[in-house]
Amino acid sequence: MRLCVFGSEGRMGRLIRDEAGDSVVACYDRVPPGTPPEVRLPDDVDVILDFSLPSAWGDLDLLMSPSRAALVTGTTGLGPSHMEMLDRWAGERAVFASANMSRGIYVLGRLLELAGRMLSRDFSLEVVEIHHGGKVDSPSGTALKLADIWESFAGQGVRTMGRSGSVGPRKPVEIGMHSLRGGDVAGEHQLHLLGEGERLVLTHMITGRRTLALGALRAAEFLIGKEPGLYSMDDLMNGDRK
């Protein structure tokens, strides 16, 4: 498997380079000045691993345009225009997109599905996520995905990003979203399901980013030989169980 790392100088990019070793045949932090064919992906790249910023996706699009290499992306903070780019790329190549490459987070989401099916009529959800001080987007992409899962059972909620001042009683449709930043925390997500007389807390903690790097490399292996399309952790985890 021959890999290209895009966003190669960021925390995740450097870690993936270390873990993948000689499998990495090209690295880009941003595309250097020039236009195709002056700037192009090496012909022997099988999979591009992208852990960059949404603002770098114009460069990523430029880099990929002559190629049909598969793409694994863990970039978060995406807007509607970036989702359109993902859909376009998935029409050309196999694309794996996940805000979190941890299998444990995937299982946390499945547990939330089960809780939502049983409790969403009578319980409230508060999401707390903790990350290192260098993280630029808030709330985390994973926290937003977990809120999406709850809403698939509870209905569309009102997402409250923290609380300050005299905000009044909590509305039944509220989903509280709380972001803590500091230190070198790789990632922690807490789900507080609050009912009358009881509270259920589900927590996932990543103790090091190596977990995420290994997950990204697992996703790259998964994409080898796949048809164009948009793949997710659902596809990877179901494939792992076969």
Q: Is 132 a catalytic residue?
A: no
Q: Are 63 and 41 in contact (CB under 8 A)?
A: yes
- Give pairs for 110-117: CB < 8 Å, separation 24+: 111/202, 112/146, 112/149, 112/150, 112/191, 112/202, 113/149, 113/152, 113/153, 115/191, 115/193, 115/200, 115/202, 116/149, 116/150, 116/152, 116/153, 116/154, 117/153
Contact indicator for 162, 155 with CB cutoff of 8 Å: no
Based on the number of CB atoms within 10 Å of its own CB, is 70 exposed (0-12), middle (13-18) or buried (19 or more)?
buried
Q: Which of 82, 131, 226, 242 is catalytic?
A: 131
User: With contact defined as beta carbons under 8 Å apart, do 37 and 61 qualify?
Assistant: no
Q: Which of 82, 132, 135, 204 is flagged as catalytic?
A: 135
Q: Is 226 a catalytic residue?
A: no
User: Which residues are designated catalytic?
Assistant: 131, 135
